[in-house]
Amino acid sequence: MLQFARAVTAVNGALFAAAKWLIYLIAALMLFEIVSRYSLSSPTSWAPELAALIFGPFFLLGGPYLLHRGGHVSVDLLSGRARGRLKKTLAIIGALLAMIFGAVLLWFALPLVLQSFEYGETSYSSWNPVLWPTKAFLPLSAFLLILQALAEIIFRLHEREAE
């Protein structure tokens, strides 16, 4: 089980490492749009929309790995002071809540992506890109969040065995 937890964390870490570079693509798109608009008097319709579509995966793919790193905003008044078994129990409860959140998100997001794919949904802008590929990152990241929460539970249970 510990190998599974390490593998899930490694996959989420690799996706996080890849996704963090998307911010440079977003910045380049916005710089291109600014130069096109103000220096060349030729604004684009696609650059700001593409930047917005890329921001979704950038934001979503970081979530599961941040769960492992403890990078999410949390209220740790109780868990910050807790020690030993209570601290581990609170960490497991937090991971279970993350799993529930991920499951609800997956439950509601997957049908929306499938519907978007079936209908060939587009943005209805002048550029009009297909939206399902970007929308697909929401259920994917929810599934990865569930797996990472399960991995965190395994890590906590393993810590207890090591004591």
Asked if 118 and 130 touch (Cβ cutoff 8 Å), the reply is no
Report pLDDT for 48: 92
Report pLDDT for 75: 62
- Helical packing angle, 47-69 and 2-19, nearest 10°: 150
Polymer length in residues for the chain: 163
Phi and psi at 148, nearest 5°, equal: -70, -35
Mean pLDDT of 34-42: 93
C-alpha–C-alpha distance, residues 99 and 146, integer Å = 5
Q: What is the pLDDT of residues 69-108, one digit of tens each?
A: 876 666 676 667 768 888 888 888 889 999 999 999 999 9
When the pLDDT of each residue in the chain is averaged and rounded to a whole number, the result is 89
Element (H, E) at 48: helix 47-69
Q: What is the pTM of this model?
A: 0.85
Report pLDDT for 162: 42
